[in-house]
Amino acid sequence: MKARLPKGYGGGGANNIQQLARQAQKIQDDMEAASAQLDEKEYEATAGGGAVKVTVTGKHELTKVEIQPEVVDPEDVEMLADLIMAATNEALRAATKEKEETMESISGGLNIPGMF
């Protein structure tokens, strides 16, 4: 007994493989372009009700730290450090989340090892 494939499957052989390769290349190109664009984007976050504001890039590089003068207390340097860390981590989370969502939307949810 010979198995039959549903209509549209099989019979294409090399053509199907070439089409699949072109689609994979397009997805990879789109992901690389989106990644480059997101790497240049800036993300801001604040902590302590706006007492500390940081800016990071999509490459996860801290580019700016703004501190309101009233939160600079020589007696409580730890609190200032905590506010800076909290704001920085929130900005980095935002950058990571947007990149993941963008890549997932491009790839249609496919997890292709080695692409990103």
The DSSP secondary-structure symbol of 5 reads P
Contact 67, 75 (CB under 8 A): no
Report all structural domains of the chain as residue ranges with CATH numbers, in order of start. Answer: 14-107 (3.30.1310.10)
- pLDDT of res. 10: 56
Summarize pLDDT for 32-77 with one digit per residue, the tens: 999 999 999 999 999 999 999 999 999 999 999 999 999 899 999 9
pLDDT one-digit tens code per residue, 48-57: 999 999 999 9
Please tell me the predicted confidence (pLDDT) of residue 18.
87
User: How confident is the model at residue 66, as a pLDDT?
Assistant: 96
Q: Which residues of 66-105 are buried (b: 16+ CB within 10 A; e: fewer)?
A: ebeeebeeeeeeeebeebbebbbebbbebbeeebeebbee
